[in-house]
Amino acid sequence: MDKKTYSNLVVSSAPHLVTNMDTTRIMLMVLIGLAPSFLVSIYVFGMRVIALTAVCIIASMFFEWAWNKLMHKTQTVGDLSAAVTGTLIAFNVPSGLPFWIAIVGCFVAIIVVKQLYGGMGKNIVNPAITARIVLFISFATEMTTWPLPRMAADATSTATPLGVLAEGGAELPSNMQMFLGFIGGSMGEVSAIALLIGGLFLIWKKIISPIIPCCFIGTVFVFALIYYGATGEGEALQMAIFHVLAGGVMLGAFFMATDYVTSPLLPMGKVIFGIGCGLLTMIIRLWGQYPEGVSFSILIMNCLTPLIENFCQKRLYGGAKKNEK
Amino acid sequence: MSQKHLHSIHVSHYKHTAGCATEVMPVPDVVKISMSQHIGAPCKPLVQKGDYVKVGQLIGDTDAFVSAPIHSSVSGTVTGIEEQRSAAGGMDTLVVIETDKKQEVYEGIKVPEAKDLPEFIKAIRESGLVGLGGASFPTHIKFNPKNLDEVHTLIVNAAECEPFITSDHRLMLEDTEDLISGCQLIMKYIGLDEGFIGIEENKMDAIEHINEVLAAKGITNIKTFKLQARYPKGAERVLIYEIAGKTMNAGELPAQHGVILSNVTTIAFVGQYFRTGMPLVSKRMTVDGDAVATPKNVIAPIGTMINDVIGFCGGYKEEPRKILMGGPMMGRAVFSDEMPIVKNNNAILAFSKAQSMVKEETACINCGRCHQACPFGLIPTALADAYAKRDAQALSDLKVMQCMECGSCSYICPARRPLGFTNKLGKAVVKEAGIK
């Protein structure tokens, strides 16, 4: 027998198998999870939804690509995380927003929030949330000009349900209208049912843990139930459901508070994070200057994440015994 | 009985060879028998160049406590004593024997008899038996616990949670009698009340077969125990938790929790040895991987070269780029296929280029999959950060020493980070710093 030997084999540490679920696939799953809401938005707000989303995705991916190119870093645009950020920015702004403002938002998200802090996995706060807040403060008029949903009566712009709640002047939409998404608001946050379907898909695929969404939404619900029950400003159960469906709670709870990089890793930390988001959201909504509080609450909890993580690690392992000798 | 489970991961089973009955490989032209086939002090060769040796003849031994003697697996002439770099990186002494293919059996081979535990332990040592699941810890030490009065349970590790490997599965189907008599012998001499054979539920035919044999023999104190077909159910501490319900920390021995735990192949060998008297000279192993022409289960003499074993399985189908001794999760990659089979080899896996390349590492996205996968609830990302700073205290506080290097974290990581390997390095940092 012809005996050939091989003595230049690859030597690496075990394990020699890896799962096929990599970062790119995870990001792809998130994009799929966002698809139902995207479709409802097209139905509600028309074709500009597609254009705005495309602009945001292309701009985000371009900034990511250009930064890596200029800084001679490994090209990471292929992992699709910039596409997810771009989509979330589009979902968080009114569908009629001028494109150039959306592009400014993408610049803030990708360059300022993500890349200046070290890129993928190193950012402290969620890029899309921060971009929304920066745009909201910088372009207050454009960011609060809510285009009419197709079902509305003749008018050129409308108010969000939370805007109505804060300032009055119109009738609140029914909970069913809000559940389906036939209301004014940011492009991708209007339809609770579509976001729920996408969120459950991600939980089913084990992309996200259900802890943060459950704690976030649960806290908003319970807080509203107690507040309206105590003050009698409205029918408690009705208003509790209203607060869960209104504004960015669904989008925030399933797609932005669950961002791996900026939320705690340990289950107990996720509980604290989710409850914190819910509490801050309700405090801002009920007593704050702004009608909506989801993005601020997530931003604040993002900043607290390292502290929560540290606290939970100590709890898990019984703390460091540094002073014992 | 409600069973408690530790965290585990799903790894594709790839048990292609489960239906392949074991074939006995013909004796190769040359064998190279390593003098270091166990944890502990290596043996010194007892033969010289030119000596004629027979099957089962003692050719290596030492006085060290933690060690096991080495026997010739063939009959033939010793042509030299060589030094070769081992897969682990150290130098290895090899006794090279040119075989005469007659396989003459050494005259001293006789079925052992043992009246009590010390004689049983002596016989086990003389058989050269080591833990055949992978750790290769000398079995005569394991079967002789200090707290003899407190041990009561035998756990047979037949989980075989590593992908590809089916040698234990075949053993359970083919050598059931030896397995059961091995259990009975160990339980009799050590004085154990009950035995559990832990088998993953992807081997239902083995579970049913063993149950039938046990029922036919009227044995009631040995039972099969069905485990989830997930990784790493075959780890010592996982089995002790799931079968005996005890939490065993790193550095503890199963005997401290009243358990003697051994691999199914080790125990079946005890049965075989007390039937035939032949020391440990051959080994059943799975030969698989996409570079092997005909994957098989084979019994090969210890000391056979890897390329001879693969030659018996039809040779290479394409050029191998990675060859593993053991399974893909915890097995060791060897740098050459001119390495001899040792006692604890349960698989030889050869992979082509497509399956061999190390995936490029990307940034951690803090997804937490590693923490969810870890059977002991460690936080590999935090450990990797602490290791990057070489912070021995932080590593110790994060319990790096509890890591059993199962590799679940590396397997599951979407960023392809070598987290399990980092833990291994982290353990070395803690040891060096001398933190208890």
| Paired tokens of B215 | 């029922």
In this predicted model, what pLDDT tens digit does every residue of A24-55 receive, in sequence order?
999 999 999 999 999 999 998 989 999 999 99
Percentage with pLDDT > 70 across chain A: 94
Rounded to the nearest angstrom, the minimum Cα separation between A267 and chain B is 9
Per-residue confidence band for A153, with pLDDT thresholds at 50, 70 and 90 = low
Query: What does the pLDDT read at residue A322?
Result: 45
Give the three-state DSSP class for A288. coil
Q: How many residues does chain A have?
A: 325
Helices A23-45 and A81-91: angle between axes, nearest 10 degrees: 20
Placement of tokens 């910088």 in the chain? A138
Query: What does the pLDDT read at residue B373?
Result: 93
Backbone angles phi, psi at B193, to 5 degrees: -85, -40
- Interface check A13 vs B, CB under 8 A: yes
Query: What does the pLDDT read at residue A145?
Result: 86
In chain B, the residue whose alpha carbon lies closest to the alpha carbon of A262 is B366
pLDDT at A287 over 80: yes
Cis peptide before B232 (omega within 30 of 0): yes
- Interface check B329 vs A, CB under 8 A: yes
Query: What does the pLDDT read at residue B392?
Result: 93
- Interface check A127 vs B, CB under 8 A: no
Interface test with A, best of B379, B387, B405 (most A CBs within 10 A): B379
Helices B176-190 and B264-276: angle between axes, nearest 10 degrees: 90
List own/partner pairs for B217-223 with CB under 8 A and 24 or more apart.
B217/B180, B219/B180, B219/B184, B221/B187, B221/B193, B221/B194, B221/B195, B222/B154, B222/B180, B222/B183, B222/B184, B222/B187, B222/B194, B222/B195, B222/B196, B222/B197, B223/B194, B223/B195, B223/B196, B223/B197
Q: Which of A143-152, A183-192, B22-31, B34-43 has the lowest mean pLDDT?
A: A143-152
Does the distance separating the beta carbons of A209 and B322 come in below 8 Å? no
Q: In chain B, which among 153-182 make CB contacts under 8 A with chain A?
A: 163
B287, β-bridge pairs: B296, B348
pLDDT in tens, chain B (436 residues): 456 788 999 998 999 998 889 999 999 999 999 998 888 888 899 999 999 999 999 999 988 888 899 999 999 999 999 898 888 788 889 999 999 988 888 988 889 988 899 999 999 999 999 988 877 889 988 888 888 889 999 999 999 999 999 999 999 999 999 999 999 999 999 999 999 999 999 999 999 999 999 999 999 999 999 999 999 998 989 999 999 888 888 888 899 999 999 999 999 999 999 999 999 999 999 999 999 999 999 999 999 999 999 999 999 999 999 999 999 999 999 999 889 999 888 999 999 988 877 788 899 999 999 999 999 999 999 999 999 999 999 999 899 999 999 999 999 999 999 999 999 999 999 999 888 6
CA B24 – CA B297 distance, rounded (Å): 9
In this predicted model, what pLDDT tens digit does every residue of B119-174 receive, in sequence order?
999 999 999 999 888 778 899 888 888 888 899 999 999 999 999 999 999 999 99
Q: Please name the member of A17, A261, A313 whose beta carbon is closest to the beta carbon of B365.
A: A261
Domain range A24-315, CATH class: mainly alpha
Placement of tokens 């010793």 in the chain? B78
Q: Does residue B138 contact residue B68 with C-beta atoms inside 8 Å? A: yes
pLDDT at A320 over 60: no
Residues of B in contact with A14 (CB under 8 A): 328-333, 405, 407, 410, 420-421
Rounded mean pLDDT of chain A? 89
Does the distance separating the beta carbons of B365 and A260 come in below 8 Å? yes
Does the distance separating the beta carbons of B393 and A320 come in below 8 Å? yes
User: What are the distances in angstroms from CA A180 to CA A44, A131, A195, A324?
Assistant: 10, 26, 10, 59
More confident of the two residues A151 and A101: A101
- Interface check A323 vs B, CB under 8 A: no
Of B75, B71, B87, nearest to B28 by C-alpha is B75
- Interface check B249 vs A, CB under 8 A: no
Chains A & B: contacts with CB separation below 8 Å: 145
Query: What does the pLDDT read at residue A1?
Result: 44
- Interface check B367 vs A, CB under 8 A: yes
In chain B, the residue whose alpha carbon lies closest to the alpha carbon of A263 is B366
Q: What is the CA radius of gyration of chain B?
A: 22
CA A63 – CA A54 distance, rounded (Å): 14
Hey, which bits of chain A come out as E strands?
A: 146-147, 157-158
pLDDT at A278 over 70: yes
Does the distance separating the beta carbons of A16 and B307 come in below 8 Å? no
Of B341, B350, B344, nearest to B28 by C-alpha is B341
Domain range B117-276, CATH class: alpha beta
- Interface check A76 vs B, CB under 8 A: yes
pLDDT at A154 over 60: no
Residue B361 CB contacts under 8 Å (≥ 6 apart), including other chains? B415, B416, B417, B418
Q: Please name the member of A7, A14, A79 whose beta carbon is closest to the beta carbon of B331.
A: A14
Query: What does the pLDDT read at residue A324?
Result: 41
pLDDT at A150 over 80: no
First-to-last C-alpha distance (Å) of chain A: 66
| Paired tokens of A272 | 């604290």
More confident of the two residues A322 and B32: B32
Does the distance separating the beta carbons of A5 and B411 come in below 8 Å? no
- Interface check B40 vs A, CB under 8 A: no
Q: Residue B21 burial by CB count (10 A; 0-12/13-18/19+): exposed, middle or buried?
A: exposed
Q: Does residue A184 contact residue A159 with C-beta atoms inside 8 Å? A: yes
The domain locations on chain B are 117-276, 369-433
Provide the ipTM.
0.89
- Interface check A325 vs B, CB under 8 A: no
Placement of tokens 């409802």 in the chain? A40
Interface test with B, best of A2, A9, A16, A209 (most B CBs within 10 A): A16
Q: In chain B, which among 414-433 make CB contacts under 8 A with chain A?
A: 414-416, 418, 420-421, 424
Query: What does the pLDDT read at residue B435?
Result: 80
Residues of B in contact with A23 (CB under 8 A): 362, 365, 414-415
Does the distance separating the beta carbons of B414 and A21 come in below 8 Å? yes
CA B264 – CA A176 distance, rounded (Å): 62
Rounded to the nearest angstrom, the minimum Cα separation between B421 and chain A is 7
Query: What does the pLDDT read at residue B353?
Result: 87
Q: Quick one: residue B366, left, alpha or beta (phi over 0 = left, psi -120 to 50 = alpha)? A: left
- Report the run of H or E that residue B298 belongs to, with start and end: strand B296-301
Q: In chain A, which among 24-63 make CB contacts under 8 A with chain B?
A: 25-26
Q: Quick one: residue B51, left, alpha or beta (phi over 0 = left, psi -120 to 50 = alpha)? A: beta
HSE (side-chain half, CA atoms, 13 Å) at B213: 18
Q: Please name the member of B333, B357, B411 whose beta carbon is closest to the beta carbon of A9.
A: B333
| Paired tokens of B69 | 């003697």
Rounded mean pLDDT of chain B? 91
pLDDT at A166 over 80: no
Does the distance separating the beta carbons of A209 and B362 come in below 8 Å? no
